Amino acid sequence: MKIDFNEPKVKTFSGPGKREENTPQPGHSGHKWRNIRWGVLLFFNLLFFVSFFMDIQILEGSLSGSRLLGFHLIDPLAAVQVILASRILVINLVIGVTTIILIYVLFGGRTFCAWICPYHWLAELGEKIHLLLKKKKIIKNHSFDKNIRIYFFVLFIVLSLITGFTVFETINPVGILSRFIVYGPSLMLSWVLALLLFEVFYSRRAWCRYFCPVSVSYHIIGLATPLRIKWDREKCSNCKRCQQVCLVPHVLTNSVNKGVALYVDSGACTRCGLCIDICDDEALGYGLKYLDNII
């Protein structure tokens, strides 16, 4: 099933980089970064299964907490829940969180969401169905306050402290899918299916856009990372097609599409590359903020 995002070609533009016709540049590939990203995502998630099934101890555990070649890795929200629930500070948690922070400072905070999270991949496929149904006027899309995930972040931290359990990890679709890949199915897959159906029929990419508290800590890390989406103002024809495909459209609305920033500065950006793939102007690409004058 294929959704065509292409808009009618525009002959005149208001942007500074004007051309007579908005045509793709030589070598432009419409799905280059999506295909690379899907390959990376599937590779790491299947590596969990292969490591467990063949007992080769390369990538052990799940996405909530794991070891890569002996190095501990743990999601910051999961670590905070464990510490508050157990009232014990374990050195492996500190090492795991520190390692994760260093990795995502280099590659971009919410890179995890687009490049590693298995639910993101399923939601991306579900999004295609949602857009098809919306195009046929069978459904309408509904949006929510993007700050809801912050409230959930605080709520689940408080619940861990009060109950002594890592409450969110029981319903976290990332952990559920990761454990399914490694250890096999469970009844909690029905919760993941319910989320997907909600997104297909009611709200486009609702979990990733509005509700997922995991993204909050990565959002904060993403504010400091140098790897960002870079905008070439001279090439841009201001067609706004990048905003149509963006997982979190406000990150482009508040920067590139207003002609304000050379880089997408929002920590909410997942560095998914969809905006780069869709841009026939080749005005968008990956860049290293703060390091332009050094390298």
**What per-residue confidence (pLDDT) applies to 24?**
44
Smallest CA-to-CA distance from 113 within 105, 103, 121 is with 121
**What per-residue confidence (pLDDT) applies to 139?**
95
CATH number of the domain located at residue range(s) 228-288 in this protein: 3.30.70.20
Domain boundaries for CATH 3.30.70.20 within the chain: 228-288
Contacts of 92 (CB under 8 A, 6+ apart): 72
d(CA 119, CA 122): 5
Smallest CA-to-CA distance from 172 within 121, 221, 211 is with 211
**What per-residue confidence (pLDDT) applies to 109?**
80
- Hey, is 164 helix, strand or coil? coil
Contacts of 171 (CB under 8 A, 6+ apart): 188, 191
Contacts of 215 (CB under 8 A, 6+ apart): 110, 113, 149, 208, 268
**What per-residue confidence (pLDDT) applies to 243?**
86
Contacts of 68 (CB under 8 A, 6+ apart): 58, 59
Q: pTM for this one?
A: 0.83
Place of tokens 């829940």: 81
Whether the CB-CB separation of 235 and 282 falls below 8 Å is answered with: yes
Residue pLDDT tens, the chain, 295 long: 444 434 333 333 344 444 433 444 444 557 899 999 999 999 999 999 999 989 888 999 988 889 898 889 999 999 999 999 999 988 989 999 999 999 998 888 889 999 999 999 999 999 999 999 999 999 999 999 989 999 999 999 999 999 999 999 999 999 999 999 999 999 999 999 999 999 999 999 999 999 999 999 998 888 888 898 998 888 888 888 888 888 887 788 766 655 566 888 888 899 999 999 999 999 999 998 877 655 5
